[in-house]
């Protein structure tokens, strides 16, 4: 499964123009405490968060995450969007909660495996 | 043997550039074919230490030495220092400002993350002067 598939299945908005939607999705991670995400997320995971600043991109890039999903109608701040355009890591968005999106993503990945 | 060295300067409060050193070191270790697991440990430790300087200190300097056996990182800052290093090492203990906390930092997990992901961690601090953190991670074995 790649990012493109989850964008379609979860009806997500894509915020950055050059987002690499062919990155492979291996799992998901939910968290808003950055050290928790930094220390525990793993390569290929999609990160669900309410954080909308540039450091989110730094962590996603350092940990080789496949995408960031901003939950609950959050939108990226300009510095985050700028960093996303540079890195190519998809910054996605949804009106839904982390609980709902995480549940659906878990199910999608389970069926896919 | 001699190794590769890197040096970076960091300004307190500069969250926009936090992670630059970590990103460059990650790229270098990849080029040196270091195992991905090891790279991740280095990156987690260095990123946390970088953010600590940005979040707490006035300014700092990072010096990195990479040789065949290990990576050794020294982060020396000018800043408020740490009153009790022992307390700072506890999970959940934090002195971060509300604005730093609102970004999702300052949860009291930084130093514990560094401890967990390094083979050697030393924190020396003088209140009102600054803090020097040394991190070492073995690159082989």
State the CATH number of the domain containing residue B119.
Answer: 3.30.565.10
Tell me the average pLDDT across A13-34: 97
Count the domains in chain A: 1
Tell me the average pLDDT across B92-121: 96
Question: Sheet containing B70-78: which strands, arranged edge to edge?
Answer: B4-11, B59-66, B70-78, B130-138, B120-126
Tell me the average pLDDT across A35-44: 97
**Residue B1: band (very low, low, confident or very high) from pLDDT cuts 50, 70, 90:** low
Residue range of the domain that includes A39: 3-112
> With contacts defined as CB-CB under 8 Å, which chain A residues touch B51?
34, 55
Q: Is the pLDDT of residue B2 over 90?
A: no
ipTM: 0.92
Tell me the average pLDDT across B44-69: 97
Q: Classify the C-alpha dihedral B123-B64-B95-B40 as positive or negative.
A: negative
> With contacts defined as CB-CB under 8 Å, which chain A residues touch B26?
62
Q: How far is A96 from chain B (nearest CA, A)?
A: 20
Residue range of the domain that includes B39: 4-138
Give every CB contact of residue B14 below 8 A, 6+ residues apart in sequence: B54
Count the domains in chain B: 1
Three-state DSSP at A56 gives: helix
Closest CA to B80 of B58, B107, B106: B58
Select the residue of B16, B19, B105 nearest A62 (Cβ to Cβ). B19
- A-B interface: how many C-beta pairs under 8 angstroms? 59
Rounded mean pLDDT of chain B? Answer: 96
**A-interface mutation test, from B13, B19, B96, most A Cβ less than 10 A away:** B19
Q: Identify the pLDDT of residue B140.
A: 86
Three-state DSSP at B90 gives: coil
CA pair distance A6, A71, nearest whole angstrom: 14
The residue of chain A with its CA nearest to that of B105 is A34
Select the residue of A53, A62, A79 nearest B22 (Cβ to Cβ). A62
**Residue B5: band (very low, low, confident or very high) from pLDDT cuts 50, 70, 90:** very high
């Amino acid at each position: 499964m790649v990012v493109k598939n989850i964008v379609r299945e979860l009806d997500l908005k894509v915020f950055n123009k050059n987002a690499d939607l062919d990155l492979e999705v291996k799992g998901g991670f939910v968290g808003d405490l950055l050290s928790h995400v930094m220390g525990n997320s793993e390569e290929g995971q999609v990160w669900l968060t309410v954080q909308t600043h540039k450091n989110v991109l730094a962590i996603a890039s350092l940990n080789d995450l496949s995408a960031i999903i901003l939950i609950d109608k959050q939108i990226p701040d300009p510095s985050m969007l700028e960093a996303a355009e540079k890195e190519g890591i998809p910054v996605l968005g949804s009106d839904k909660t982390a609980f709902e999106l995480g549940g659906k993503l878990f199910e999608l990945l389970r069926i896919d495996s | 043997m001699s190794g590769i060295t890197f040096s970076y300067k960091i300004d307190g409060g500069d969250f926009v550039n936090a992670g630059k050193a970590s990103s460059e070191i990650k790229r270098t270790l990849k080029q040196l074919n270091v195992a991905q697991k090891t790279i991740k440990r280095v990156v987690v430790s260095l990123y946390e230490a970088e953010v600590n300087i940005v979040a707490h200190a006035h300014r700092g300097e990072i010096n990195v030495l990479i040789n065949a056996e290990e990576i050794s990182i020294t982060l020396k800052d000018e800043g408020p220092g740490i009153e009790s290093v022992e307390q700072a090492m506890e999970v959940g203990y934090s002195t971060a400002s509300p604005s730093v906390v609102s970004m999702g930092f300052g949860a009291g997990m930084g130093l514990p993350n560094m401890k967990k992901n390094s083979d050697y961690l030393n924190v020396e601090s003088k209140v009102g002067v600054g803090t020097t953190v040394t991190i070492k991670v073995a690159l082989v074995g």
